[in-house]
Amino acid sequence: MGLTQKIKNNIKNSFFFGMIYLGIMITFIKILQLFIKPNSKQILFISYSGRQYSDTPKEAYNMLREDPNFKDYEFVWAFNEPELFVQPELGRKVSANSLVFFYHLLKSKYWVTNSSIDRLVPFKHKRNVYIQFWHGIPMKTLGHEEIGLSPLVQYWYDHVQFDFMFTYGNYDLQKFKEIFPKTKHFVEQGQLRKNIVIRYQKNISAAQIKRQLGITSEKPVLLYVPTFRGYQAKEQTNLTQAALKELTKNYTVIYRGHYFSESVKQGQVITADTYSLYKLFMITDILISDFSSVFFDFAVYGKKIYMFQPDINEYYARRGVYLDAKKDLGLPVAYSEAELMDLLHTNHYDYGVLAKISKQYNDHDGDDAVTALKNILKHV
């Protein structure tokens, strides 16, 4: 862990240092606001708080830069380490890890993100428009219901003021009303994530993706996406090396960790932590996850989903969930590696469960969100 991240963690996890940080930063930002006038045609994008060039902010960026109606707009991307992102379509980049970042933030009238763009400083921004595409439907608890949340992050949840927050449907709409009580407008028009896959399908084939990943086998592709625990677990959480090795006999196994997790390299298992999740969707035949909300986005493709939850009791006690995958959603759940192997060897699979999940939680077409976003940028 780098020094910068250690300092961030100390500030986040200490009430004393967190409040000092907030006081200093809010005062600093208020002073900047006196001198900086937003550019009405400038949009700032950030994904996963500056860690990635991905997800809905990336889709929004590509969509807008290809639209002639936005040809005179200035697009700015913020990254924690801008030098790491060299994609040819990227234009102006700024560092999110410097005080100068707040100049770019205030200078941009519109902010597009899928997490925090304000560096956990929930300040008032009457001349800026904060547009939030949260990174998934809430499966695990957030905000006040999240056990052990750091004081600074909890303060952010309670006080951040999104001008527009996009939701998939009524379920996450109701949850986000509780989690982010200061949000001004909720846009129940779905997310841009369905369009991410459509964009990739136009530009790259499944065969090309497999070549990029070094896949030569004709075995079905099994994508394993465990979530981040955030605590030192006492029980087993992930599939063991022996189980992964066993799976490689019948499947091409791809491991993709949470963006907070460290990569793992397990023999024949392909580690794809930095590879696009939505490209992986295109070649995946079976998804295995645990408490991640990734399955909500994958369910629309009608391909098998299994949940592996050996630490369900500990996870419920130490993290908490809103939905039980088996009782509430009807998904097949394994609580041991032996159970998972049995499920995978079972011929019957209830695909109707996937259709029901998609209908109830993710029913909007991706173009609905496109239209809503463009209307905000042109008329607000």
Model confidence pLDDT, tens digit, residues 172-186: 999 999 999 999 999
265: pLDDT strictly greater than 80: no
Neighbours of 122 (CB within 10 A): 20
Measure the CA–CA gap between 347 and 357, rounded to whole angstroms: 21
User: What percent of the chain shows pLDDT beyond 90?
Assistant: 88
**Do 112 and 73 touch, CB atoms closer than 8 A?**
no
When mean pLDDT is compared across 22-26, 67-71, 191-195, 273-277, the lowest value belongs to 273-277
| pLDDT per residue as tens digits for the range 96-133 | 999 999 999 999 999 999 999 999 999 999 999 999 99
Q: Which residues of 230-268 are buried (b: 16+ CB within 10 A; e: fewer)?
A: eeeeeeebbbeeebbeebbeebbbbbbbebeeeebebee
The chain-wide mean pLDDT, for the chain, equals 93
Beta strands in the chain (DSSP E): 39-46, 74-79, 92-95, 108-113, 129-133, 164-166, 185-187, 221-225, 252-255, 270-271, 286-289, 304-308, 333-334
Of 2-16, 111-125, 189-203, 335-349, the poorest mean pLDDT is in 2-16
With cut-offs at 50, 70 and 90, classify the pLDDT of residue 260. very low
Domains of the chain are: 3-191+365-379 (3.40.50.11820), 204-361 (3.40.50.12580)
Cα separations (Å) of 273 from 93, 212, 337?
Answer: 23, 14, 23
Q: Give the residue among 238, 239, 274, 233 at the shortest CA–CA distance from 256.
A: 274
Q: Write the CA distances from 134 to 199, 281, 298, integer angstroms.
A: 20, 19, 16
pTM, rounded to two decimals: 0.93
Reported as a single tens digit per residue, the pLDDT across 198-238 is 999 999 999 999 999 999 999 999 999 999 888 889 999 99
pLDDT band at 11 (very low <50, low <70, confident <90, very high): confident
